[in-house]
Amino acid sequence: MATVETTEPIMWDVERASSKWWVLLVTGVAWIAVGVVLLDFDLDSAATIGFLIGGFLILAGATEFLLIGVTEGWRWVHGVLGALFIIGGIAAFFEPVQTFGILARLFGFLLVLKGTFDFVFAIATRHEVDLWWMMLLAGIIEITLGLWASSYPGRSATLLILWVGIGAVIRGITHLVMAFQVRKLYGAVTA
């Protein structure tokens, strides 16, 4: 009897949430459209990434302001970060191409930094992890790619557009697959 009472609310939650499968479908199509626009490799690609960063920063700022009400201490840090994120997001909307240029320069540095961490972690865990050499190889590739991209700003920009564009298309495809899986689940729950 107790299991029936605990599964009933879960089934209701699943039914209620899965009825919104179309949201995943719409966001999947939107992500694919953004990815295709980015992979077009023109000035619009740079501006699109600048606008995406602006939107992301504004959402991050709003999240920081929400965290003020949830956290116990250090509320002022969340307030300062929220204000900085929102100011950065607004600036990104006014100068999206400039935002893209700054991000492209940082991208090469971030690849070198991540590659260095992967390289060091692979060496540190070589006795515990069987496939440590794969992480070592990935670290070397990331470092090489980051140094190559950093040597010329156009390469960083191209690499960033490819990275974000392919990521957007993959995210869109994932959302489409999830939408149809959730729709299938919704059909099973309502039947």
Average pLDDT rounded to a whole number, residues 40-67: 86
Please check the confidence at residue 22 and state whether its pLDDT lies above 60: yes
Looking at residue 8, what is its pLDDT? 60
% of the chain at pLDDT higher than 70: 87
Please check the confidence at residue 176 and state whether its pLDDT lies above 90: yes
Average pLDDT rounded to a whole number, residues 71-85: 89
Contacts of 45 (CB under 8 A, 6+ apart): 37, 38, 39, 161, 165
Give the integer Cα–Cα distance in Å for 52 and 33. Answer: 13
CB–CB of 60/86 below 8 Å?
no
Give the integer Cα–Cα distance in Å for 47 and 92. Answer: 9
Q: What is the model's pTM?
A: 0.61
Please check the confidence at residue 113 and state whether its pLDDT lies above 50: yes
Per-residue confidence at 1, pLDDT binned at 50, 70, 90? Answer: very low
Give the integer Cα–Cα distance in Å for 45 and 160. Answer: 10
For tokens 């690849």, the residue is 111
Per-residue confidence at 37, pLDDT binned at 50, 70, 90? Answer: confident
